Structure 1
């Protein structure tokens, strides 16, 4: 019904009481009416009470309409069937078409443009990794960079939640893994990585690999979850047939030293498992990257005391490598030895003290079928009220048959923070 009233404002509708005016709509405009309802209280389109206009009692609404409509200069007559109009149910009219609602959806267009620009920026970042200064080289994915005339490699690490222990700090094995990672990335970023685990192209041709013979570590403090550490590493010559690699680990925010480490490496034939001399071809590859710098830790040449079943205070037997403990050269990764050494350290020391320094001498490698024993002797027992004193321990990792794998010495200092309460999540 409402639609009928709206339509009558624009189109002439014949009156139900006048048959002569319903036949055509020609001539001058005459008032016509639409019967809306019966009764004296019916309203017309202007909100006024309609008056009865026929004997049938129906009420009419008068509207003005033009009898003739011109379209492109031609007269067009419009006829409307009143009966059909009255019987047609009211249909809500759609919103009028305006300039605003005919515009495109700008938010969708803006989102598409933003996506395109972000994708282009990502691709450009991956491709445009070339150094902006000749004294700084960066790898393609931003893992690290070579600084100081191409002789020092620097890389940052974030301490993950799965890398911390009961002390709420990173473990010594986590830090040692970071040292190993930066050493390999240094070789890779310098373009010297061959087919082996850190081997140069010339070493790969001769089936040579690197093996560590000695490792010295000084830990100032241990980072916590979420800390960002900055690791610098560089290499230097060590005698006629060896190489020295040093590391300096700092807090990336404060610059405070976290750890320093120095190591000695020699080459081994991958097939014969025997030590090898330093080939001149390999020396020519590496010497341009050797740095003339004193070791970050003074070399401790003291002979480690002998340790056996009679002198050891704690022994842990039956240690066996897992498949995941092997590296790509099919021998146990040197970081795994540290965990095995600490297997025989008394729990009383681990609860009250933290590792401050460590010296390890690697004697031989072990394979996946080896069965090992871990032996530890303690200079003083922290369970007798001397928990605030530093502790020194001697360590030995050996095969059950007797040959030595690693000899070591560790120093422990009292912890600066309390561990997690027992039973806490």
Structure 2
């Protein structure tokens, strides 16, 4: 992630009005530059959206930042630029205000963190809609920026300051994602995230994804997290000092209703009850994250390696539940295993019930000793032609 130099993250006192303040007139084209006389600014007004191109310096490298109607694009949030007649002093103050919100903004009294993304061409699958991996990347990015922008972020990958002092990191133990609809290429989506306590020694993080245009909720997700020592790789209790950092941000709200939460045990697959096995899956260097283990999103692709091709072509994944069992390193080889469950429903596309057409159980395991890495359950509906 790019680091902004010589800027301290500060937030204005009235964040609830941020969205209204940052809206611009339909079709209006703005011009602004962080470091004049940087790059030439170009704009396009083919439709109702006004496009603003801006240049910011990240470690001395110019980087374009695009906005649509003054709102943040791909997680970057900027305000309306001051007029060209504004003096340099006011322009400098406006620049600082712009940079402080580069990652998104807080809403609902700083309990909810919000970002806006645009679905890019390289984030869609063969049917021109976002993939499950894309959605998981949006969730992860919003969560990390939530910690960074809250003012309690430490040196680690999503760790707080007190966690960094104690060499502690967060690890996810379970995550459930429900998809009502996948966004299309070019769609703008809005991601909200918040946290709450989970039992005596865990944290829950929830997300909601909306279609920015219609405000329809298209994805809900919930997850549980525990703390690990980054050197010993052993789980740790949450120190009291860390709890005190987190408590002011706790929000008692569920993204996934209790009756829809997938809390059932995920059965373990083996060589006898697995229908399909794909061996020899090797993590690459780019699959590793800043905590020196395989990024959680990478597991999705490996799980799908053992799903029948006709399922990938004719069905759409509507739910995925992960249960993380152990870390995976670059030196490990993995096996992907898939088996349909006993609860496979007959296809009924005219019905509005939520029963899946297909349901699978999955396992990723280490190839050398057969130890579980991830257990998963997926639900699929037949694609409407």
TM-score under structure 2 length normalisation: 0.72
Q: Which residue does the alignment assign to 1:365?
A: 327
Matches within 5 A, 1:292-331: 292-298=252-258, 299-331=261-293
Q: Distance between the aligned counterparts of 1:224 and 1:303, measured in 2?
A: 33
1:374 aligns with 2:342: no
The Cα of 1:416 is off from its aligned counterpart by 3.1
Q: Which residue does the alignment assign to 1:408?
A: 376
Q: Which residue does the alignment assign to 1:179?
A: 139
Q: 1:221 to 1:145 in 2, by over 3 A?
A: same
Please say which structure displays the higher CA radius of gyration.
Answer: 1
Matches within 5 A, 1:9-408: 117=85, 120=88, 123-129=92-98, 140-298=100-258, 299-379=261-341, 390-400=357-367, 401-408=369-376
SS in 1 for 2:271: coil
The Cα of 1:187 is off from its aligned counterpart by 0.6
Q: Distance between the aligned counterparts of 1:205 and 1:188, measured in 2?
A: 16
The count of corresponding residues between Structure 1 and Structure 2 is 293
Query: CA contact under 8 A between 1:261 and 1:297: conserved in structure 2?
Result: no
Q: Distance between the aligned counterparts of 2:279 and 2:143, measured in 1?
A: 32
Note the alpha carbon deviations across 1:51-90, whole angstroms, 9 max, x for none. xxxxxxxxxxxxxxxxxxxxxxxxxxxxxxxxxxxxxxxx
* Unaligned runs of at least 5 residues, structure 1: 1-113, 130-138, 418-425
Query: CA contact under 8 A between 1:143 and 1:156: conserved in structure 2?
Result: no
Q: Distance between the aligned counterparts of 1:150 and 1:413, measured in 2?
A: 37
Q: Which residue does the alignment assign to 1:48?
A: none
SS in 2 for 1:168: coil
Q: 1:128 to 1:342 in 2, by over 3 A?
A: same
Note the alpha carbon deviations across 1:353-410, whole angstroms, 9 max, x for none. 010001110000011100000000024899xx96967100000000011110000100
Q: 1:122 to 1:157 in 2, by over 3 A?
A: farther
The Cα of 1:309 is off from its aligned counterpart by 1.1
SS in 1 for 2:153: coil
Q: Distance between the aligned counterparts of 2:182 and 2:87, measured in 1?
A: 39
Query: CA contact under 8 A between 1:218 and 1:356: conserved in structure 2?
Result: yes
SS in 2 for 1:196: coil
TM-score under structure 1 length normalisation: 0.65
Q: 1:115 to 1:239 in 2, by over 3 A?
A: closer
The Cα of 1:297 is off from its aligned counterpart by 4.0
Note the alpha carbon deviations across 1:314-345, whole angstroms, 9 max, x for none. 11100111000111111111111111111111
Q: 1:308 to 1:253 in 2, by over 3 A?
A: same
Q: Distance between the aligned counterparts of 1:342 and 1:148, measured in 2?
A: 38
Query: CA contact under 8 A between 1:312 and 1:376: conserved in structure 2?
Result: yes
Query: CA contact under 8 A between 2:206 and 2:254: conserved in structure 1?
Result: no
Q: 1:351 to 1:122 in 2, by over 3 A?
A: farther
SS in 2 for 1:360: strand
Q: Which residue does the alignment assign to 2:6?
A: none
SS in 2 for 1:181: helix
Q: Distance between the aligned counterparts of 1:219 and 1:324, measured in 2?
A: 27
Q: Distance between the aligned counterparts of 2:276 and 2:267, measured in 1?
A: 16
SS in 2 for 1:344: coil
Query: CA contact under 8 A between 1:236 and 1:292: conserved in structure 2?
Result: yes
Query: CA contact under 8 A between 1:380 and 1:391: conserved in structure 2?
Result: no
Q: Distance between the aligned counterparts of 1:380 and 1:217, measured in 2?
A: 21
